[in-house]
């Protein structure tokens, strides 16, 4: 069944547009959803904001501004909680031209890679520290912890080959350890599989029309060339998570032309196939850039951009994907909230 379906925050000045959410459950049960919001993507007042939902609360609390560089847009960010219960935000700030045809010196390829840390579960934050001041990185999907204790995550990189970064000291320092070549790719969603290999599911960096796939057998240092899977995808983000029972869950737009529907799928064979699928949202509009986690109680939590007006949060049981339970549809045929 679906347990919750809610907007994280309604559009209010100055956060009239929003995009690219991430979600994390902390050790005390708080849910944090973060994203960038402002007048629009790559607008000078775009800030990285955070909302919190405490256990038992009916909704999320007010937005908190975590990063807001004067005159420059904040971009994508990701969250991880380390073994010391510190919350780490990794994000980018744009420094180049904000308008014009995408390419060298414009918008996303002009992001640096920076970090802030919180020792009180995201209520207050440190000053900025730089991971890489050079332009080129864009983070998107959450870090994962490998069996050996390392934290790793991937970034879109300006040359079309995603980079993999690693930390061996609980996120205090990060270094690039590998890149994913082959088909141009972005935004790796990483999964450590039962055999110790790391699966990378990738957003296509062009109009390939399919999710891409790459595998590392040495904890992210080297990768097989990215190749097309049979999973349809527009030029849009995806996310995945390894479940407590060993299966994998994926959320993405199962379409080659549009950022809808928003679909959930399960894999029983470590990401080789995804035969169990169910649409979470259909209809007109853009329901995209999803993030997914599984909380300790077994529920899946999905956040996503709803037409760049709100970030929505859905909590549901895994067996809902398999067709069991209620099918909640909070939009009418025109894509409007009922």
| pLDDT value for 331 | 41
| pLDDT value for 102 | 84
| pLDDT value for 201 | 98
Tens of pLDDT along the chain (338 residues) come to 999 999 999 999 999 999 999 999 999 999 999 999 999 999 999 999 999 999 999 999 999 999 999 999 999 999 999 999 999 999 999 999 999 988 889 999 999 999 999 999 999 999 999 999 999 999 999 999 999 999 999 999 999 999 999 999 999 999 999 999 999 999 999 999 999 999 999 999 988 999 999 999 999 999 999 999 999 999 999 999 999 999 999 999 999 999 999 999 999 999 999 989 999 999 889 999 999 999 999 999 999 999 999 999 999 999 999 985 444 444 443 434 34
Q: For residue 146, give Cα distances in angstroms to 150, 152, 220.
A: 5, 8, 10
| pLDDT value for 283 | 85
| pLDDT value for 334 | 40
Domains assigned to the chain: 2-320 (2.120.10.10)
């Amino acid at each position: 069944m679906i347990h919750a379906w809610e907007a994280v925050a309604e559009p209010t000045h100055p956060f009239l547009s929003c995009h690219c959410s991430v979600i994390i459950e902390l050790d005390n049960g708080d849910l944090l959803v973060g994203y960038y919001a402002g007048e629009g993507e790559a607008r000078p007042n775009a800030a990285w904001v955070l909302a919190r939902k405490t256990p038992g609360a009916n909704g999320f609390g007010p937005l908190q501004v975590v990063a807001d560089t004067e005159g420059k847009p904040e971009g994508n960010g990701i969250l991880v909680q380390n073994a010391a219960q510190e919350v780490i935000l990794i994000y980018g700030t744009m420094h180049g031209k904000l308008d014009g045809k995408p390419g060298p010196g414009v918008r996303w390829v002009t992001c640096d890679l920076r970090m802030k840390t919180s020792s009180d579960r995201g209520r207050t934050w440190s000053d900025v520290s730089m991971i890489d001041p050079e332009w080129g990185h864009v983070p998107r999907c959450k870090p994962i912890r490998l069996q050996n204790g390392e934290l790793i995550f991937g970034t879109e990189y300006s040359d079309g080959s995603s980079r993999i970064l690693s930390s061996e000291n609980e996120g205090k320092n990060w270094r690039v350890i590998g890149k994913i070549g082959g088909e141009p790719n972005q935004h790796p969603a990483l999964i450590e599989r039962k055999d110790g290999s790391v699966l990378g599911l990738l957003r296509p960096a062009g109009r390939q029309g399919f999710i891409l796939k790459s595998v590392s057998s040495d904890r992210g240092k080297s990768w097989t060339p990215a190749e097309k899977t049979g999973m349809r995808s527009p030029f849009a983000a995806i996310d995945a998570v390894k479940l407590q029972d060993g299966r994998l869950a994926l959320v993405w737009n199962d379409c080659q032309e549009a950022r809808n529907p928003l679909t959930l799928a399960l894999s029983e064979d470590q990401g080789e196939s995804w035969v169990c699928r169910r649409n979470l949202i259909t209809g007109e509009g853009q329901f995209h850039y999803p993030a997914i986690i599984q909380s300790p109680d077994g529920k899946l939590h999905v956040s996503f951009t709803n037409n760049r007006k709100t970030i929505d949060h859905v909590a549901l049981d895994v067996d809902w994907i398999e067709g069991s339970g209620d099918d909640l549809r909070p939009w009418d045929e025109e894509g409007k909230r009922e």
